Structure 1
Amino acid sequence: MDFRHRLFHLLGLLAWTLLTTVPAQASQIQLEAEGSAAITHSRQQARQDAVEDAQRNAVAEALGVLLTSETVVENFVLLQDKILTRVEGYVRDYQILNESFTSNACTVRIRATVEEMALADDVAALARILPRLNYPTVAISLQEQSLSATANPMPLNLLAARQTIEADLRGKGFDLVNPTGPSTTQAQLLIRGQAYVQDNGANPYNERFHAYAATIVADICETTTGKVLASASSDAIVPHHSFAIGSQNALQKAALQLAGRLSDQIAASWLEACYNEHQIRLIVAGCSFADLPSIEREISRIPGVIRAQQKQFSAQGGEFIVGWQSCNTLRLAEQINHLTIGGKKLTITSAGTYALQARLGGS
């Protein structure tokens, strides 16, 4: 089972765990949590930072309540990180129970109402979209620089190190292309690395053996823009009596470590895409031109909405572009479905991946 299938399997397991452990009627849970923050600018800012820290802790506790498998949690550090960076979408409201200040810090304790089903919905939505996402095509380019105790240049064979990285990434589901072949233009990402080998000198107890240290540093770049998305490095030391064998073994060991870190970096960027801004097209029928500012204002207040912008108005109604910080469009639809504009209820009539339709009318 390759990396993509394992990740999808784990996401599906996590989604199932969440959805089967949350009763339908218990969509909210009240938790007490504590947060703290250093006083760097003002007591007021420290208090706000401490409240946000407490909210993150409340959401983390709610997520822990929902999960029944520690193994699943350990495999979803990236997903947890994404959830805990946007707690405003999960905390319905909170009450400060007590607060205290020292000379350099503020501590608060809150009682927060956390949306359990919102957590479950986000994980389920992520599990649904992952099978449709593909890893980018990758090319690897390594250059050499060798160093020794005597500063004499030493030629390195980087082919085996590159093949080690390629084999590891390919085994995890990545598509690799030859960086020097005609298919280079097909690569979406270029792993651009520099390899160093250092002869650290002889073993004081056995001068025949030298300690050979290898270091590989690499950037992950977009081939179209040259933008560096992430960086990784690894190093290894291997004792041997032969430079050729010792340096090669050290490079192989460092290359294998680097491959794991590179795949983690790419996977992190891959999951990050789910929590970037998604532009959702919203068409509201039954509204007047005068209703547009109120609709825009109320939608902008929804937690998780980055922006709401009027696009146009016609006989069919008003059209808006909504910047939504989630891969779960249905949850945005649920939030919009609760809005009242000028005494009239806004009702969702159709919901798709990147488009919503609603009607304004009734009370």
Structure 2
Amino acid sequence: MVSKANMRLFCVLVITIVVIPLQLWAGERVTAKGMSFFEEGKEAIAREKAVDEAKRAALQKVMGSYINSMTVVDNFQLHEDRIISHSSGYVKNITVIDEKKSRLGTLEITIQADVESADVKDDLQRFQDMLSWQRNPRISIVVQPGTLKKYLPAATKAANILTGKLQQAGFKVLKFSEQTRNKVGLLVGLTLEQSVKTSDYQGISISLNEIGLTADMFRPGDQEILASSSAIRSIPGENSLTVLDKGARQCIDAIWKELKDKLLLQYEKELYNDRDIYLTLKNLKSQSKAIEIPEILKAGITGVKGCSLLTFDGKKGEYNLQFRGRPEHFINELEMSYFQNTGFQSKIETYTGNSIVLLMLN
């Protein structure tokens, strides 16, 4: 005979087993319709298209509430369309509950499906964050290595002046470090130099200082100079530190407009131009899996224009990607739920410049 205490324990266990999976699954049950035209003998193709349209309609129903509650941002429609185009990454457990043809040659299908609403919400937030990142260029300013020690105080002051100007112009300026390297869009490297010319005029010795400042723009982890602005100012005076400070400030003022325009232009190129990305995937299960990766990336990542397997060694594959956008955009889409659900799951091991190393998780 089962005691009341044991019976209560049994009931608690049953409730726990039933409730916990429901709590772990953050989805919505949705009914939606899809339609396509068909020809005799090609009903299977039409049915597939109608189901696909129904899946997209189901996803749009769930997306609507989240989009309305989020801040409207530029080009958000573009990313909304991108998510809808990957509806199979969010819509699961599809059941066709009605199917009918019309005299007009259309096939209408009604489905019930589970939409992974938590994934949709997370991915929409990722896109919104990325758009915010694009609208506010992220810059770091560094004093170039090799700058003479005696010039460092003046160069640092010049960097601070430039930081203030950039911030007022809407740029986001980050302190450069290993932790912020992957968040920085462009680096501005300052070089400060001084030369002194002495001349005699009617028995009086006159010192004329030439202060030169150069601002080079380049990517973090990349030594290629993408653009440069420079200025030279001649300043009389005997006090070297005072002259350096004054000359550096004047040089910053002289290059500011040109530098700002070049930064904006270069930043836009970095966002939308094609580039090569060198991708290494570790822990690949087989060579056949390594061979499949290029097609998976081209189908699942929007900016991938081409991908080729360069080498495969044991469980490691090396690839060359032609990608439109910054490496951060590529990584952002790798982490999207729709890609992880339909492509593969991975985590970043290292990322420097255009070189990315991923560890495969499935």
Would the TM-score normalized by the shorter structure come out above 0.5? Answer: no
Query: Larger C-alpha radius of gyration, 1 or 2?
Result: 2
TM-score (norm 2): 0.41
Q: What TM-score do you get using the length of structure 1 for normalisation?
A: 0.41
